[in-house]
Amino acid sequence: MKPLVRVTKPTIAILEAIANHDQPIWGLALSKQVGLATGTVYPILERLTELGWVVSQWDTDQTVKGPRRKFYSMTSEAREAALALVKANVNVPSRSTRRIGAQQHA
């Protein structure tokens, strides 16, 4: 898992939403939950997947009719780091979060 260099507010919101979900969360449902457009959510998810914070997998449920859906989840290691990042974000002004993010995972 690689550290996040730039931690924006939408990134924090997405990390928080995935970390607080016990089950993998569907991309579209995640977009709805955090109240951000898919055009914002998916590029962040791509970046988080690339850095190893988030794992994506296609739906394997055969009972659901319609096209496959893509689900996102976190490893326990990433969940811990994400929750720490969310907590730090609550306690400090938003501009400082990117430095905190970088320090925490250095």
Partner 1 sequence: MLKPIIRLASRAYPKGAARSEFLESTASDLHYATELDIDERAIERGAIKQALSYGWRHPRIGVVLTIAGMLFSVWLCTKWVAYPEPYAVANGVWLALTWSIAVLCSRVPGSRLTKPAILAFLLLVVAFVIKTSEWHSYGIVDYATKHAGPPILVNVHSDYGSFVMLFVALSSTAYVWACVLLLLDRAVVRGILALAFAAAQVYWFYSSTQLMFFWELQDQWARRLPLGASAWVIFFAVSAWQGIRAKRGAAQPQR
Measured from the CB atom, the residue of 87 and 99 that comes closer to partner 1 is: 99
Spatial separation of the C-alpha atoms in residues 3 and 29, rounded to whole Å: 26
Residues 29-68 that bind partner 1 (CB under 8 A): 29, 31-32, 37-43, 46, 51, 66-68
Candidate residues 83, 84, 98, 100; the one interacting with partner 1 per rule CB under 8 A: 98
Rounded to the nearest whole angstrom, what is the least distance from the CB of residue 48 to partner 1 in the complex? 13
Scan for tokens 């995640």, then name that residue: 30
Q: Is 36 helix (H, G, I), strand (E, B) or coil?
A: coil
Instruction: Write the DSSP string, 1-16.
Output: -PPPS---HHHHHHHH
Q: Does 79 bind partner 1 (CB under 8 A)?
A: no
